[in-house]
Structure 1
């Protein structure tokens, strides 16, 4: 009897009761619950930190951009718009505006171009500047391009004199010392207008003097007008083209624009 009691007592001591097993499972469950809560809290903290960092990044970026924009001079900011810096003055009482090439303008040229002497022309309010494309026939020598729905298209081309001559003082040499009136348009015609120029295509050709510089002025059969002069190692060319309707309506206006073109030489 004593042995049985001892064995039973031992069994009862070694074997967990139902209450003890339940409490163990409950403790384990509570432990997993606490771990899960810690993990969730950690995830929530990470999300909060991401939101804070994101907000700080946006605020900081906005402040930095604002400071940089205020710090840059107006000329530098405008100079970043693909070479197009506004150059038109306000219109006069007759609706005409003077365009003067801005100093900050880059044009369609590549790197390595020396300083360009400003030029100007006068046009009505229908003209606006458009982007320069290297796909144009004159390529990187196009300095500026303008269009008018009613009047046509105008291009300013700057060609190095060394392309076709190395004689004389290239800084100040006059165009008539380089090439004749007739030879110039035949040589540059294909590049300017896309087609060869024959004698019958030249409706008129004349020389005019502006501030001691010679300008060649042409009217061509394909509704085109050209003005050219030389200064500072370059040939400055203004070319206006238009369709038949624009030519009929705006021929006189376009001739006025062409003859107003001049390089702003000193002296």
Structure 2
């Protein structure tokens, strides 16, 4: 008896379909009530999962959905579901990815704003993440974030372009670095530009930044201060700021060839980051 397993996971937000040209966007459906349901259809002619096995798989999925609902979600490949069901399960587990891109402007650039409904509070008891915005060329697309990534659950977002490069946004509780900050931290309270890059640069590149900082720039915008850095090697542009009770690290990078050919675009992306 063969059983076909269909799994749909739902979370406390509603996807509103938009005409955005991205193969990474999730299935357009409404997901509600923060629960997972499992249905099995059996054929008496073939062999497959028995009821007990189906109930076991259902329990595993429900427990996994609870663990993943407040963090970056792993690919369904980890769960080991083969065949056509893989795409459906993957889409459900990546439900935290809510489209936030605008339509392209006259130059072909789109603005991303972190949706208020997006999951990822980074810890029980933490206030909602203050939204941020940045701009990317039209061919850049959101990339799934895994809890196995360097940086773990503090990586809030990834974007990338096979031609030009990639970016990531790290959102970390400031209390992990200092215990004397109130609920409205500023980057100045965390430290001077040199102090911040020495402390948090390794969070981005995975190694000590000594001798790699090529330039430092301080920008004021709408009452908020941003520290901007350029590092080589590896080639990376970092914009750091703080808001609420979190530190934001916006990181743009590319290979040597991408850096050479598309530095102007990568710099424009890095300079566009703002917390709103």
Q: TM-score, normalised by structure 1?
A: 0.67
- Equivalent in 98, 101, 104 of residue 114 of structure 2: 101
Contact 1:229 1:237 in 2 (8 A): yes
Question: What is the distance in 2 between the residues matched to 1:240 and 1:117?
Answer: 20
Contact 1:214 1:229 in 2 (8 A): yes
Report how far residue 207 of structure 1 moved: 0.6
Q: Deviations over 1:194-214 (max 9, x none)?
A: 11110x200001110011111
Q: Secondary structure of the residue that 2:266 maps to in structure 1?
A: helix
Q: How many pairs does the alignment contain?
A: 193
Instruction: List alignment gaps of at least 5 residues for structure 2.
Output: 1-7, 17-28, 33-91
Q: Does 1:145 align with 2:158?
A: yes
Distance 1:108 1:136, change over 3 A: farther
CA RMSD of aligned residues (A): 2.3
Aligned to 2:182: 169
- Equivalent in 99, 105, 121 of residue 134 of structure 2: 121
Question: What is the distance in 2 between the residues matched to 1:232 and 1:84?
Answer: 22
Q: Deviations over 1:153-172 (max 9, x none)?
A: 1001101010111224332x
Aligned to 2:268: 256
- Equivalent in 79, 82, 85 of residue 98 of structure 2: 85
Contact 2:121 2:128 in 1 (8 A): no
Question: What is the distance in 2 between the residues matched to 1:78 and 1:247?
Answer: 40
| Higher share of residues assigned strand | 2
Aligned to 2:251: 239
Question: What is the distance in 2 between the residues matched to 1:256 and 1:111?
Answer: 35
Contact 1:147 1:153 in 2 (8 A): yes
Report how far residue 74 of structure 1 moved: 3.8
Distance 1:159 1:229, change over 3 A: same
Q: Secondary structure of the residue that 1:154 maps to in structure 2?
A: strand
Q: Secondary structure of the residue that 1:191 maps to in structure 2?
A: helix
Report how far residue 107 of structure 1 moved: 4.2
| Higher share of residues assigned helix | 1
- Equivalent in 224, 228, 245 of residue 217 of structure 1: 228
Q: Secondary structure of the residue that 2:196 maps to in structure 1?
A: helix
Question: What is the distance in 2 between the residues matched to 1:112 and 1:92?
Answer: 38
Question: What is the distance in 2 between the residues matched to 1:97 and 1:129?
Answer: 12
Q: Does 1:207 align with 2:218?
A: yes
Q: Secondary structure of the residue that 1:157 maps to in structure 2?
A: strand
Question: What is the distance in 1 between the residues matched to 2:126 and 2:260?
Answer: 39
Contact 1:107 1:144 in 2 (8 A): no
Report how far residue 152 of structure 1 moved: 1.1
- Equivalent in 123, 135, 150 of residue 148 of structure 2: 135
Report how far residue 108 of structure 1 moved: 8.7
Report how far residue 229 of structure 1 moved: 0.4
Distance 1:248 1:259, change over 3 A: same
Aligned to 2:89: none
Aligned to 1:41: none
